[in-house]
Structure 1
Amino acid sequence: MAFLMLSAFSVATAQNKKYNPFYYPELSKYADPKQMDFSTEYKQWLTPDASQTYKDITNDILRKGYDFERTLFNSEQFIYEDMDGRVCYYKQSSFNGILGDNYARIEIYINPQVERTDTLTFKVTGKSKVKKNICDFTGEIRVEHIYNIWERADDPDCPDYYLMVCNYIFKEDETQYGTGFFNGTYGVYCHIDEDNKKVCLDIDLGGGDGYNQRNYVGTWQSYKTNATKRCIWGEYRLPYTFDFDIGDGEMRINPKYNSPEWEQWQSEFFNPEEKISWWEDSLKGGKQ
């Protein structure tokens, strides 16, 4: 696989390190756990700054007519069929996340079918689930920037990773029970396939311990009451959840936020075959 090359004149470098929004003890020094919306902070954290060597390649991608792999925008997960990784494929799945100050479990399913409506905007459809309440939604994800980033500044031919920064808005069906809309910042690690002119999901990268390739950070707002809640979901570990996740090498839920839904998540994590494809058989507007 070939990678986009560094242009020496467009590189920024420096010495400062960012805090880690995935690690509670450190995060608590830099952010207020009572704050509701961390989408701006997450975008700033994703965006390379003076502590990194990077290049914004968004215009290069557009100019060269690159396509985007659909798994950058849906909730399919990459699965290895056997221990040797000889058989592999993408499987329909859902993201897990938190909703509100009590960190209720929310699940988000984004359909495999993704429509590119203009150069940087992608239309998606899917379902949300809180307890037994399941709602349909339609939405848009808009790519703002794609960066390649070097942690080894002395090796300009090999960028360490690529990062795509987006914004999103998902609107649930107003005719259904307990609905509203989601909006915020989406970050995803990717790689550039020059041979096939495609931006692809990077299944091997992720910040921290490698379990956060795709994360959505923002809010949910009720249509009926206008009440707004923190809402963050993604692939395993979640940023800006403070003492909800007290794990070190892996995600571990603080017992004070335990619920039947999070107990189910833990069981599913250790026994993936137990995960129910609730989005396939759900009834529209099901109530709690």
Structure 2
Amino acid sequence: MNKILALFPLLFLALSSFAQTTNNSIDKTVEYKKLDFSPVFIGDEFYSDNRREKYNRVEPIGYFGGNYQRVFVHFISVIQDQENPLEYFVYGKTKLKDNVSVFQGKLAIDKIIEFKRHEFPEFNRGEITGKYIFFEDTKNNGSGKFEGQFTSSWLQNEEEKVEYDGMMLAADGFSNNQFEGVWISYNSGKEYICNWGDYRIPNSGDLDNGAGEFFPSKEYLNKGWQTYLDQYGDPSEAKTKRARELEKENWW
């Protein structure tokens, strides 16, 4: 009986924490639907460190299939649909091994939430969630479509325009633009997991061996992750210099 009673404080704390998490947001989908959220997905720079410094936007990291083959995803343009402001036209490219493919499609926002409490109360901050579907050119061999769901963090600046929220960049586990879904072959209809994101990858299993930041497991380095790891080596070594060149390459 004493053991059961001892569990009550722990249960109360757990339920309190859950309530704070679930009650810390307001649904602003109707109110904010005409705001342009495209800067969350595309742009060269973003603010961090309480807006004291700008950082260059990084390319997403992602994997394709059950063996965690590295895939590159780059949005070239993201344009809000003026007739349906919760939808965005997307044009971009992907790279899997040496194969570069063009795609186009849509992002559809299902929900826009704003946080009631957060570390920077002078700004509005929140998340958008929704679905995406991107179609590769049917004329290319081995082409298909990407579909799934995404979660992205946004911030409203002093001019009330939406920006990419990188305010917590220095925090362990920071991530943004988390895309989780599948790639489906036009020819066979077979599905492959394909997930990507900024700084971390959703549901990356044992691929991600990092604590505070993404770190590829050694067993998957031959799946396209070797240069990602090598870029953090000794800057005086040729291997490191070459890896950094490849990681910064504008392949699209």
- Aligning the two structures, in what range does the TM-score lie when normalised by the shorter sequence? 0.7 to 0.9
CA distance in 1: counterparts of 2:177 and 2:97, whole angstroms: 23
Cα pair distance change 1:204/1:179, threshold 3 Å: same
User: Is this contact kept in 2: 1:161–1:205, CA < 8 A?
Assistant: no
Kept in 1: contact 2:173–2:212 (CA 8 A):
no
Task: State the 1:161 CA deviation.
Answer: 3.8
Structure whose alpha-carbon radius of gyration is higher: 2
Shift in Å at residue 231 of structure 1?
Answer: 0.7
CA distance in 2, matches of 1:120, 1:163: 14
Structure 1 residue aligned with 2:213: 250
> Of the candidates 29, 42, 67, which is equivalent to residue 58 of structure 1?
29
Shift of 1:146: 1.1
* 3-state SS of 2:16 partner: coil
- Listed as ranges, the gaps of 5+ residues in structure 1 are 1-13, 18-47, 280-288
DSSP 3-state at the match of 2:227: helix
Kept in 2: contact 1:219–1:228 (CA 8 A): yes
**2:40 is equivalent to residue 72 of structure 1:** yes
Letter in 1 for 2:250: S
> Which residue of structure 2 aligns with residue 200 of structure 1?
163
Residues in 1 aligned to 2:138 and 2:205: alpha-carbon distance in whole angstroms: 32
RMSD: 3.1
SS in 2 for 1:249: coil
With over 3 angstroms needed to count, the CA separation of the structure-2 counterparts of 1:162 and 1:227, relative to structure 1, is: same
SS of the counterpart of 1:72? helix
Greater relative contact order structure (CA < 8 Å, 6+ sep): 1
Q: Which has the higher helix share?
A: 2
TM-superposed CA distance for 1:151, in Å, is: 5.0
**For residues 208 and 244 of structure 1, do their structure 2 counterparts lie closer, same or farther at Cα, with a shift above 3 Å needed?**
farther
**SS state of the match for residue 225, structure 2?**
helix
Q: TM-score, normalised by structure 2?
A: 0.76
Relative to structure 1, the CA distance from residue 90 to residue 120 in structure 2 (aligned partners, 3 Å threshold; closer, same or farther) is farther
Q: Please report the TM-score for the alignment, with normalisation by the length of structure 1.
A: 0.67
Which residue among 91, 98, 116 is the counterpart of 2:63? 98
Contact 2:46 2:163 in 1 (8 A): no
Letter in 2 for 1:244: L
Give the superposition deviation at 1:244: 1.1
- Structure 1 pair 208/89, CA: closer, same or farther in 2 (3 Å)? closer
Partners of 2:32 and 2:169 lie apart in 1 by 22
In structure 1, the residue matched to 2:85 is 119
With over 3 angstroms needed to count, the CA separation of the structure-2 counterparts of 1:86 and 1:230, relative to structure 1, is same
Aligned residues: 222
Aligned counterparts of 2:232 and 2:92: Cα–Cα separation in 1 = 22
Distance 1:16 1:87 in 2: 33
Structure 2: which 5+ residue stretches go unaligned?
A: 1-14, 234-239
- Residue 241 of structure 1 is matched in structure 2 by 204
- Cα deviation digits, residues 52-110 of structure 1 (max 9, x gap): 32101111113xx5333x33233x45278xxxx9874756x642201111000000011
